[in-house]
A and B are shown apart, each in its own frame.
Chain A
Amino acid sequence: AQKVTQAQTEISVVEKEDVTLDCVYETRDTTYYLFWYKQPPSGELVFLIRRNSFDEQNEISGRYSWNFQKSTSSFNFTITASQVVDSAVYFCALSPAPYNQGGKLIFGQGTELSVKP
């Protein structure tokens, strides 16, 4: 079975705090992709990052960073010096062998992040 678990339903922080959103996935596939999407109050899912299963290098993009660890099946997302505009629901998603299997996304339940001024 393929599954994504985001155990944190809601997180509330004060502006400028660092915050980490956890994501744990389950799959038997050796080839897969992991994604993070942001869903602001407007509702549209915004793509943040894609990582394939063969690339365990951590990635940093501005205030965002991602930690991928195959040994623990985790793909955590950290926002450094959070801002009010970061308030949104964040989804982690899993996609098996994209080209051969259509690339459908399996989403976690999401973590609602609230950043207060």
Chain B
Amino acid sequence: DTGVSQNPRHKITKRGQNVTFRCDPISEHNRLYWYRQTLGQGPEFLTYFQNEAQLEKSRLLSDRFSAERPKGSFSTLEIQRTEQGDSAMYLCASSRGQATTDTQYFGPGTRLTVL
């Protein structure tokens, strides 16, 4: 299996612009997660999908953030009207979603810099 892939790897944008990131999970993984990691911190959960259904959203996910997984395969994370505080690494992970085995495998991340 190929691993989780994320595009782009780096994104530099100006404050107020919209950005969209894409995540392609491991094939046949039902669950897909988004996390955010700022410098010197551990990743923080943002949201997750079971197939195409978005089942949980963290309070970190403000109204400017939206995530989709339209066909239960790849997912997109959009940030509208970016702010400097949005600068972070955005990590995507996927897992099989079975009851007894739910290890999450992470992609390389998208590093966002908001100027």
Which residues of A approach B to under 8 Å, CB–CB?
4, 33, 35, 37, 42-47, 50, 91, 93, 95, 98-99, 102-110
Contact = CB atoms under 8 A, between A and B. Distances in A.
Contact of B107 (A4, A44, A106, A108): A44
Contacts of A109: 40-42
Interface in B83-115: 89, 91, 93, 95, 97-100, 102-109, 111
Contact of B91 (A45, A106, A108, A110): A45
Contacts of B106: 37, 44-47
A35 B102 CA distance: 11
Interface residues of B, number: 30
Interface string B22-36: 000000000101010
A91 B106 CA distance: 13
A102 B55 contact: yes
Interface stretch (B12-20, B43-51, B62-70, B73-81): B43-51
A35 B35 CA distance: 16
A99 B98 contact: yes
B102 A99 contact: yes
Contacts of B35: 105
A21 to B, nearest CB: 13
